[in-house]
Structure 1
């Protein structure tokens, strides 16, 4: 009886301890209303060794190219500089494991475009490698059946440093072009991306996963493929620079930050994504595809910071582009102003009563 009591007390204590453990906050899917693209695969999609992986460089290219893209998936990771952290990369997973879940993932997100890089773990685990091509083919069929209007980009897997594993990878890759072509011939929207040739083993940090530079090479290859298929990432908007009249310098997000509340500055124009602005029908000035020029804190007084923030549709993110070159807040009527009539790199941008001075005039 005493032993039974001790067991009951121990169980109760364990339950209480479990209840008191802090729970990790669940990530909320990010959306900017853009063209939905699903990065799909294993740890190379997730970004092992370099969190965010190729998605960092790809996101930057979307922004600089004027594309408004919404990355989708059940997973979430990457640095703050990655404007959308959603993806469907699963470290250690093989083709069959992706196949077992793909219908529900696609149903939850309905992507317009799928970027598939899978098969590396089939090789690393030596998991029935001879049948890996057939499994990949079946997975592609399942994707095209579930989202028949999506463009599916199927990549060859990147190189491996181990010679015997690289030989298996090459054999696997050799089957992919014919498989993709046969599906395209059948009217399916399947495209080949030769990712293997984009990298060498010198681009690997651990013999399997790319370095930051290697991931950026992957980003460039994906972007090249996406641009070759009209509509796969939507239609580029007319992203333009916002140039101060007296300074000739651009409205710039410092250090290409994507952090909400970052105050704008003047900086030498260089054409980067942090200086590329789109004026929408909702009177928003959008950078990176999902951040809006914002009167910080809904401010309506002189000196209110001109910052970036997630686009909300609020009046503090609506702007009038006027024929006299001024940009005025629809909320307050204040002008976008280079503080102190500054013209040097680093001059902060604020809102100020309209004075007619040139430091409140802009060329868009």
Structure 2
């Protein structure tokens, strides 16, 4: 098949990006214990032109809506305003390349929800474009076979910024509703998302990748789609108990105190408001709706007390919820620690150097 002349420079860019794409060390993955969502696709999922892409606005909407979601995947990028940087977006990749890797990714990360936006590079690289819908159908089958309980959202891809390119996009997109409906009729958890009509050529940075505003429009569409399918992102109202792995007791504000500087301790879990913590897009752990878990005096040394304080966005109020169960201070890098390996009611909570597998530094959210 002859390669159209308008594809040349973009094909070269896509292939180059595909060559440099490499798995991110999974040890660096971020997890907050929420519903696992895999953003899956090519550079538009990765966020070329705006690192993080639609994932920024989607994360912010999810957090603002009270949902606890955990983006998952082997790749990692985006700004600080993106609370979870994990994804499975591969610049330059086509449907067949995603197909060749998807089983491993699904088995590794076990997403409960998949956001699939793929096919742009099949068109840009003029790779058997007529066969692209069949390849997409086969990819969806592989996803639903490997992860039969996952909710799979399939997007009609975003526009291209020139008429010939967008005509090819429209032909590809026209096949997707029938593909999705066939999966639904077969009892699969597959959902159609019209992403194409949400953007115009004016929303594209380079004729292919959205601008920051265009990516945010994508985020709004994804968010609405997710909200329309019960269970795909859990239920809103994401306050949870934080339970010590060693003690089985909850992280709580001492004595139901609300004043700045009130300490934090372990206590029997009882569901009180002083034991309900919300993890925000800004990596804050918020209690009572307006008080943040805080490293006292912006301390960064072992033994620094952990208290509550008015939320102010400073780094001593930001926390990483890690896949190994630890909670580490963004500013200090130290672990949230039950003092002296204590397990009893009233055990104070502090910052301390993270130790390998220390149970007094491991926490679960429930």
TM-score by length of 2: 0.66
Contact residue 279 and residue 286 of structure 1 kept, 8 A: no
Q: Cα distance 1:303–1:35, how it changes in 2: closer, same or farther (>3 A)?
A: closer
Cα offset, 1:190, TM superposition: 0.3
Contact residue 294 and residue 316 of structure 1 kept, 8 A: no
For 1:46 and 1:92, the matched residues in 2 are separated by 10
Matched, 1:331 2:324: no
Tell me the C-alpha RMSD between the 2 structures: 3.1
- What secondary structure does 1:191 align onto? strand
For 1:199 and 1:102, the matched residues in 2 are separated by 28
TM-score by length of 1: 0.66
Matched, 1:310 2:320: yes
- What secondary structure does 1:135 align onto? helix
Contact residue 294 and residue 306 of structure 2 kept, 8 A: no
Counterpart residue number, 2:233: 233
- What secondary structure does 2:173 align onto? helix
For 1:201 and 1:75, the matched residues in 2 are separated by 28
Cα offset, 1:279, TM superposition: 8.2
Counterpart residue number, 1:5: none
For 2:142 and 2:173, the matched residues in 1 are separated by 20
Counterpart residue number, 1:275: none
For 2:89 and 2:64, the matched residues in 1 are separated by 24
- What secondary structure does 1:154 align onto? strand
Matched, 1:212 2:212: yes
Counterpart residue number, 1:43: 43
Q: Deviations over 1:100-132 (max 9, x none)?
A: 000000000000000000000000011000000
Matched, 1:286 2:284: no
Alignment of 1:159-170 (within 5 A): 159-170=159-170
For 1:238 and 1:97, the matched residues in 2 are separated by 36
Counterpart residue number, 2:85: 85
**Which blocks of at least 5 consecutive residues in structure 1 are unaligned?**
1-23, 240-263, 265-277, 318-328, 333-364
Larger radius of gyration: 1
- What secondary structure does 2:132 align onto? helix
Counterpart residue number, 2:357: none
- Equivalent pairs counted in the alignment come to 263
Cα offset, 1:81, TM superposition: 1.1
Q: Cα distance 1:279–1:289, how it changes in 2: closer, same or farther (>3 A)?
A: farther
Matched, 1:105 2:105: yes
For 2:72 and 2:306, the matched residues in 1 are separated by 39
Contact residue 24 and residue 74 of structure 2 kept, 8 A: no
Q: Cα distance 1:25–1:209, how it changes in 2: closer, same or farther (>3 A)?
A: closer
- What secondary structure does 1:178 align onto? helix
- What secondary structure does 1:39 align onto? strand
Cα offset, 1:165, TM superposition: 1.2
Contact residue 82 and residue 281 of structure 2 kept, 8 A: no
Alignment of 1:156-235 (within 5 A): 156-235=156-235
Contact residue 279 and residue 285 of structure 1 kept, 8 A: no
**Which blocks of at least 5 consecutive residues in structure 2 are unaligned?**
1-22, 240-259, 261-270, 286-291, 312-316, 328-335, 340-345, 350-366
Q: Deviations over 1:237-266 (max 9, x none)?
A: 166xxxxxxxxxxxxxxxxxxxxxxxx9xx
Cα offset, 1:282, TM superposition: 5.0
Q: Cα distance 1:92–1:25, how it changes in 2: closer, same or farther (>3 A)?
A: closer
